[in-house]
């Protein structure tokens, strides 16, 4: 639902208000601001991955959006935090007897993840207010930045909803909620890049022809693969079947449909979850390679051709990194590189979509010497 809403929002036509001189001058600043926030979201995803791989995500058992920014400051505060952690199943089943020093390690990972989320909220909201209040934000950008801010708030709430799933009856968080949390973060990252790339460009923002729709498809399938990867992480499915290209001694192993009803295997059977992640990766590589060759030979636009080839290169590197991570039984360093690679693949896919789907109107001069697009020239 969220993905469909974001996709519909991304392809909205620009509003026809003419940008003022101040707004045109502010475009580079706004573009830099959005890129900086995108980099922060990328860092947030990596820290979140480290939090997952170090089993730190349940170390803070409360959600205090404001007061939670202050970590324990005294020995008594630390003991109180540890005592709260001792009440949940993860401690009682897995970490029983954990020392305070060991607890501090996982606590700081989770606190850092939450603190970075708060920092991103401030880094987005304060500049947005300033650009808006000073008249530097174009009318076409206003609904987009508001939507990005709302998605960021929803992401924070979804993060706590995910944590809640591991506080009562489970020793870890729900893989369903983990996947939703990571997927929304990835959507926000991609939307930030899309908006940043489109600043100052007028014209059609809808895909057309084979390249436009293929580029949209790559964005969608990379988001799907990211969600599938989150299920692998949520079930620790990468910790087993650490061979390649065979899995449990076969290319198509026995046991893929062991659970009942059959659909549950797609989300709760660790073997099936890893298998479908592998198969989707193979499909993306094969289709991406064929598409890159076709685009290089048939598409006249240089930006589209180059970005199509770049996308294939990133996809191949990401697939190879996934195999390496699997064979090494998911060490933290490779796990984080693989997660970062997924974000990089999405960034390149967004760049390719931008090149393939957007056809900017040619700039025309105006009497002041400043270039305007055709719609502004008509109004002038």
Give, in order, the Cα–Cα distances in Å from 12 to each of 6, 84, 187: 10, 47, 16
- The backbone torsions φ and ψ at residue 250, rounded to the nearest 5 degrees and listed phi first, read -150, 155
For residue 202, the model assigns a pLDDT of 59
Report phi then psi at 247, rounded to 5: -130, 115
Cα separations in angstroms, 319 against 135, 174, 284, 312: 45, 26, 9, 11
Peptide bond preceding 261 in cis form (omega within 30 of 0): yes
pLDDT for 201 equals 74
- Cα distance between residue 11 and residue 353, in whole Å: 11
- Our CA angle for 77, 104, 54, nearest 5°, is 145
Q: Say how far apart CA 195 and CA 35 lie, in whole Å.
A: 9
- Per-residue pLDDT at 352: 96
Cα Rg of the chain (Å, integer): 23
CA of 28: how far to CAs of 85, 125, 200, 360, in Å?
Answer: 46, 18, 9, 17
Whether residue 3 contacts residue 183, with contact meaning beta carbons closer than 8 Å, is answered with yes
Tokens matching residue 243: 């061979």
Alpha-carbon gap, residue 120 to 114, rounded angstroms? 10
Instruction: Convert 97-124 to b/e letters by CB count within 10 Å (16 or more is b).
Output: ebeeeebbebbebbbbbbbbbeebbebb
- Give the closest residue to 351 by CA, choosing from 309, 295, 318: 309
Assess contact for 369 and 227: CB atoms under 8 A: no
Contact 189, 181 (CB under 8 A): no
- pLDDT in single tens digits along all 380 residues of the chain: 544 454 444 444 444 458 889 999 999 999 999 999 999 999 999 999 999 999 999 999 999 888 889 999 999 999 999 999 999 999 999 999 999 999 999 999 999 999 999 999 999 999 999 999 999 999 989 999 999 999 999 999 999 999 999 999 899 999 999 999 999 999 999 999 999 999 987 555 566 678 889 999 999 999 999 999 999 999 999 999 999 999 999 999 999 999 999 999 999 999 999 999 999 999 999 999 999 999 999 998 899 999 999 999 999 999 999 999 999 999 999 999 999 999 999 999 999 999 988 654 444 444 444 444 433 433 33
- Torsion from C-alpha of 259, 51, 339, 38, nearest 10 degrees: 130
Q: Which long-range contacts (CB under 8 A, 24 or more apart) does 117-122 make?
A: 117/44, 117/155, 117/156, 117/159, 118/65, 118/69, 119/40, 120/37, 120/40, 120/41, 120/44, 120/152, 121/152, 121/153, 121/156
Q: How many CB atoms lie within 10 A of CB 281?
A: 18
For the chain, the domains span 1-205, 207-357
């Amino acid at each position: 639902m969220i993905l469909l809403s974001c996709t519909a929002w991304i392809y909205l036509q620009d509003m026809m208000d003419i940008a003022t001189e101040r707004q045109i001058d502010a475009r580079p600043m706004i573009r830099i601001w959005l890129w900086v926030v995108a980099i922060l979201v990328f860092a947030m995803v990596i820290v979140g991955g480290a939090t997952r791989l170090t089993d730190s995500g349940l170390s803070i058992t409360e959600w205090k959006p404001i007061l939670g920014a202050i970590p324990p400051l005294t020995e008594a505060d630390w003991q109180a935090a540890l005592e709260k952690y001792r009440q949940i199943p993860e401690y009682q089943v897995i970490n029983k007897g954990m020392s305070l020093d060991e607890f501090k390690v996982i606590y700081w990972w989770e606190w850092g993840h939450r603190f970075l989320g708060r920092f991103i909220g401030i880094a987005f909201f304060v500049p947005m207010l300033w650009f808006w209040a000073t008249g530097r934000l174009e009318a076409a950008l206003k609904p987009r930045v508001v939507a990005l801010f709302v998605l960021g708030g929803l992401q924070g709430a979804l993060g706590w909803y995910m944590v809640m799933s591991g506080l009562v009856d489970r020793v870890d968080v729900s893989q369903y909620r983990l996947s939703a949390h990571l997927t929304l973060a990835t959507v926000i990252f991609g939307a930030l890049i899309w908006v940043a790339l489109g600043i100052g460009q007028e014209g059609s923002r809808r895909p057309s022809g084979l390249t436009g729709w293929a580029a949209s498809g790559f964005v969608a399938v990379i988001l799907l693969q990211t969600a599938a990867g989150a299920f692998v992480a949520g079930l620790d499915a990468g910790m087993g079947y650490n061979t390649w290209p065979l899995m449990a001694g076969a290319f198509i192993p026995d046991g893929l449909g062991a659970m009942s009803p059959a659909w549950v295997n797609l989300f709760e059977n660790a073997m099936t979850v890893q298998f479908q992640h592998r198969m989707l990766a193979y499909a993306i590589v094969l289709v991406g390679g064929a598409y890159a060759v076709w685009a290089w030979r048939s598409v006249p636009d240089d930006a589209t051709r180059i970005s199509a080839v770049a996308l294939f290169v990133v996809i191949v590197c990401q697939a190879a990194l996934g195999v390496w991570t699997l064979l090494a039984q998911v060490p933290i360093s490779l796990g984080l590189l693989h997660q970062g690679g997924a974000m990089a693949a999405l960034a390149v896919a967004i760049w390719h979509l931008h090149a393939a789907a957007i056809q900017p109107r040619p700039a025309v001069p105006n009497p002041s010497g400043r270039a305007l697009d055709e719609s502004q020239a008509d109004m002038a």
